[in-house]
Amino acid sequence: MTDTLILNARLVDPASGLDQIGGLLVRDGRIADLGPALGRPDGAIVIDAEGAVLCPGLVDMRAELGEPGGEFRETIASAAIAAAAGGITTLAALPDTEPAIDDASLVRLLRARGEETGALTVLPYAAVTKGRRGEELAELGLLREAGAVAFTDGSRAVASARVMRIALAYAAQWGARIVQHPEEPSLAGSGCATQGELATRLGLPAIPPAAEALMVWRDIRLARMTGGAIHFAHVSTAEALDLIRAAKAEGLNVTCDTAPPYFDLNETAIGDFRTYAKLSPPLRAESDRLAVVAALADGTIDAIASDHQPRDADDKRLPFAQAAPGGTGLATLLAVTLAQVHGGKIPLAKALGLLTVAPARLLGAEAGTLAKGAAADLCLFDLERSWRVEAGEMPGKAQNTPFDGRALEGRVLGTWKAGRRVFG
């Protein structure tokens, strides 16, 4: 493989605290050297970054890929295209497939399919329960040995306290986390919007925000009881974040992530029944959005995930209450996060840390750093370049973006996977 030398870049590596102008040399798929003054090896491909930011490839810790069983919505290959356009080089895939990822052979299949793309490392989550039905535990030990990075029933909450208690205790034996969709299902019911004036005015079945906090409270209590590690996905309410903040202060093994819609949008984005903005959990009140922003800044939230949920036209061209929840997120993950940097809410290094080294550590992945010798998984982006999100023109199959029409600053210029340029 020919050496690649990227010069005049703003090197930002949250893992080491590096933030300086310099160059980075890629050799044999790994970072050979980096710093302010690098020589030019004979025959190297030289790229002038012209001051653009060069950071580790993004690590997305929550995405639905559709494959197997939902290839008409998204395949691993099409997701890899969208991920590369968004600067993502490592992705944790949910078990929300048909069949569910509750068998060791399926875990190995997803890893292999990711490798086949040459652009994306796929780290499979395995289901906590067989078929994601919430009743009988899957074979957690075998799944872990096959390469599952953690256990989750994906978009379904593990509703049974007994099942969750046993799962937390068993997963702890293999040093694994249980990732929970924090929504008490009997309270959420068939709701599709956050309880409040807007849902009432639109006549939509509503979900009380307390449905999130109740599940968070229960599972924190179970984590305390078992000593297990619990991770709450796409946290979206102030009350739940307060509970997580207190659990961390107590020293419990509790972590969480959120997704860009919950710090960039509020419930008004559903407008007059705009189904692209129908998500799970639903978009919240402005006070909750501000609480999510504050939790990003103070460290309560450990990572930002895309929460990518591909849907096709037939899923969304329905009355709001009947439409499938979910939005795409791979290509917009970085730029929507950078809006918080441009708005002065969080520093650039912190934002990138939430997208790289922090999720890598949570997943136990060898990714998210610009260290010498590390795999040359890289993202080069222009912090100031503006663009507009346009449904129908997004990379990958799925076009159901809640950010349709949103003007953003921060454009990916190039993505490298193990030293090979896969975008730009």
What is the spatial distance between Cα 20 and Cα 11, in angstroms, rounded to a whole number? 5
294: helix, strand or coil: helix
* Integer Cα distance of 32 and 29 in angstroms: 9
Nearest to 321 by CA among 266, 273, 267: 273
Q: How is 208-268 classified by DSSP, letter by letter?
A: -THHHHHHHHHHHHHHHHH--EEEE-S---HHHHHHHHHHHHHT-SEEEEE-HHHHH--GG
C-alpha angle with apex 305: 189 to 53, nearest 5 degrees? 155
Q: Find tokens 């949570």 and name the residue.
A: 362
**Alpha-carbon distance 175 to 345, whole Å?**
34
CB 196 within 8 A of CB 267: yes
Spatial distance between the Cα atoms of 193 and 209, rounded to a whole number of angstroms = 10
Among the listed residues 237, 187, 246, 177, the one whose alpha carbon sits nearest the alpha carbon of residue 213: 237
CA-wise closest residue to 396 among 325, 316, 329, 305: 329
For residue 375, give every residue at least 6 positions away whose Cβ sits within 8 Å of its Cβ, in sequence order, or none: 29, 30, 31, 366, 367, 418, 419
Q: Which of 307, 315, 377, 404 is catalytic?
A: 307
Q: Exposed (0-12), middle (13-18) or buried (19+): which is 314, by Cβ within 10 Å?
A: exposed
Question: CB burial class (10 A; 0-12, 13-18, 19+) of residue 344?
Answer: exposed
Q: Which residues pair with 18 in a beta bridge?
A: 13
Is position 307 annotated as part of the catalytic site?
A: yes
Query: Smallest Cα–Cα separation from 255: which of 124, 359, 167, 388?
Result: 359
Separation of CA 157 from chain center: 18
* Strands, E assignment, 64-168: 88-93, 121-124, 151-152
The β-bridge partners of 179 are 152, 231
- In single-letter form, the type of residue at position 205 comes to P
Residues that are catalytic = 307
